[in-house]
Amino acid sequence: KAGVTQTPRYLIKTRGQQVTLSCSPISGHRSVSWYQQTPGQGLQFLFEYFSETQRNKGNFPGRFSGRQFSNSRSEMNVSTLELGDSALYLCASSLAYGLRTEAFFGQGTRLTVV
Amino acid sequence: KNEVEQSPQNLTAQEGEFITINCSYSVGISALHWLQQHPGGGIVSLFMLSSGKKKHGRLIATINIQEKHSSLHITASHPRDSAVYICAVGTQGGSEKLVFGKGTKLTVNP
3-state SS, chain B, equals CCCEEEECCEEEEECCCCEEEEEEECCCEEEEEEEEECCCCCEEEEEEECCEEEEECCEEEEEECCCCEEEEEECCCCHHHCEEEEEEEEECCCCCCEEECCCEEEEEEC
Residues of A in contact with B9 (CB under 8 A): none
Residue A40's pLDDT is 85
Closest residue by Cα to residue B4 from B80, B81, B68 = B68
Q: Is the pLDDT of residue B20 over 70?
A: yes
Cα–Cα distance, A109 to A12 (Å, whole number) = 11
Q: Residue A98 is nearest to which of B40, B48, B90, comparing CB atoms?
A: B90
Higher pLDDT: A34 or A55? It is A34
Q: Within chain A, where are the H helices? A: none
Higher pLDDT: B91 or A92? It is A92
Structural contact between residues A63 and A15, judged by C-beta atoms closer than 8 angstroms? no
Arithmetic mean of pLDDT, A79-95: 95
Residue A69's pLDDT is 97
For residue A77, which amino acid is it? N
Q: Residue A102 is nearest to which of B45, B86, B95, comparing CB atoms?
A: B45
Residues of B in contact with A88 (CB under 8 A): 41
Residue B1's pLDDT is 65
Q: Is the pLDDT of residue B95 over 70?
A: no
Arithmetic mean of pLDDT, B60-85: 96
Residues whose CB is less than 8 angstroms from the CB of residue A65 and which lie 6 or more positions away in sequence, other chains included: A76, A77, A78, A79
User: CB count, 10 Å around CB of A108?
Assistant: 24
Q: Do B30 and A100 touch (CB under 8 A)?
A: yes
Cα–Cα distance, A35 to A28 (Å, whole number) = 21
Structural contact between residues B97 and A36, judged by C-beta atoms closer than 8 angstroms? no
Q: Is the pLDDT of residue B26 over 70?
A: yes
Which residues sit opposite A16 in a β-bridge?
none
Cα–Cα distance, A16 to A81 (Å, whole number) = 5
Sign (positive or negative) of CA dihedral A57, A77, A24, A3: negative
Residue A1's pLDDT is 60
The DSSP bridge pattern shows strands A104-105 and A87-94 to be: antiparallel
Structural contact between residues B7 and B19, judged by C-beta atoms closer than 8 angstroms? no
